[in-house]
Amino acid sequence: MKKILLTAALALYGLNAASQSKIGNNSGTVNSNAVLELESANQGFLQPRVALSSTTSPSPLAAHVAGMGVYNTATTNDVRPGTYINDGTRWWPVGTTMSTSDVTAVCNGFVGTYYPEIATRSYTVTVTNNTFAAVTVTPVAGDLVLSPASGLSVTAVSGGGSIASGASSVLTYTLGGSLSASAGTVITGTFTKLGLSCVKTVSVSSIPTVTVNGANGTSITFMAHNLGADYSLNPNIPVQGIYGNYYQWGRSAIVANASTPIGAISGWNTASAANGAWSDASKTVNDPCPPGFRVPTRNQWDAVALNNTVSRTGGWANNATNFETALHLSPNASTTYMTLPSFGYRSKTDGALLERGQAGTYQASTISNNNMTLLKFQVNYISTFEDPPTRTVGMPVRCVSQ
């Protein structure tokens, strides 16, 4: 019986290819527009079952042609089990609208200008799934290549996972390290994954500086912004973006910034750093300032306070949202000045915010009589002083050129 059926099938597809044929029930009646009709009330048509490697690869059907159909059994890359039709170039799942792309990637992070002090920045990629089913995308550090490396590397990844049909996910690659490239260097970030690729570039720039009067007719050059501020902003217009970070004396770790909630900070370090953690003699490994800069000494702050014209702007009121108050130090009668926002400080005991808009406090490297020193100013005074119990206070840093 099997031999008879095989012979009939060969005749159907070969010797009698020009005629109409029907297999199944009511074999004497064939649809007038059908070259082959299958009819059954209780049986199905079983397609060839093939494990496709991807929708864009012919494997394992190297001789694929437009119109070829299979049932895919694999779950890999951008394919899932189901019926697929080939258009001569690629495989399309039955029931979907054909598109020129399945999964797209747009690099939309890694923008602006980078400066040598950078500790962390993000490179983000939006992945959009245009396929018929969910696609799993798992970010790993190797997805992103920076050229030249310039001291930066991928330290953490997030995002991705199962991306539903028609949905998007943002992949975030956190870049850490100390940027070693010189000003003018262009860094290219290339993202590659699942056949996707996109490129973004950033340029490296010199950190903006400002020069003011020092002691005995000398001058002192500082960074124009607080450490960690947005250096693209005008440093002399007080807004939240120029405030930067808070640091504890003798440590390089950032303990808060201008966006940190005003309340107590969980895990606040209440142990004071030892003498020598910062030093007047040289820049230590704990100094948070970028290459070429350091935490200023008490003598440098004294010289600046005594030898420059002091002016103030804003309403000097204690308010967590007051980002308009600042002190200006002018070396001459022109508009050239160094602006110090009245950043307040974070409590030595729990990191809660105190005196923002009412007082400015800035770190000095100097230890005097085993006490730390700092610059402080309010609406009616500016001075440096010793403060024995406050090494765990969080204050901003304005770096001075070495």
200-251 pLDDT, tens per residue?
A: 998 989 899 999 999 999 999 999 999 999 998 999 999 999 999 999 999 9
Is it true that domain 103-204 has CATH number 3.40.720? Answer: no
Residues in the chain: 402
Residue 356 pLDDT: 96
Residue 301 — pLDDT band, cuts 50, 70, 90? Answer: very high
Instruction: Give the integer Cα–Cα distance in Å for 27 and 271.
Output: 92
Residue 229 pLDDT: 92
Per-residue b or e along 323-349, where b marks 16 or more CB atoms closer than 10 Å to that residue's CB? bbbbbbbbbeeeeebbbbbbbbbbbbe
Asked if residue 111 lies in contact with residue 203, where contact means CB atoms within 8 angstroms, the answer is no
Asked if residue 295 lies in contact with residue 365, where contact means CB atoms within 8 angstroms, the answer is yes
Residue 333 — pLDDT band, cuts 50, 70, 90? Answer: confident
Report CA torsion sign: 368, 369, 373, 377.
Answer: negative
Long-range contacts of 310-316 (CB under 8 A, 24+ apart): 310/382, 311/337, 312/379, 313/238, 314/238, 314/342, 314/357, 315/357, 316/342, 316/357, 316/358, 316/378, 316/379
Residue 14: pLDDT above 70? Answer: no
Instruction: Give the integer Cα–Cα distance in Å for 283 and 296.
Output: 10
Residue 341: pLDDT above 60? Answer: yes
Residue 9 pLDDT: 45
Q: Is 367 helix (H, G, I), strand (E, B) or coil?
A: strand
pLDDT tens, position by position, 115-150: 877 767 889 999 988 776 788 899 999 999 999 988
How buried is 13 (Cβ within 10 angstroms: 0-12 exposed, 13-18 middle, 19+ buried)?
A: exposed
Domain boundaries, the chain: 1-45, 48-98, 103-204, 209-401
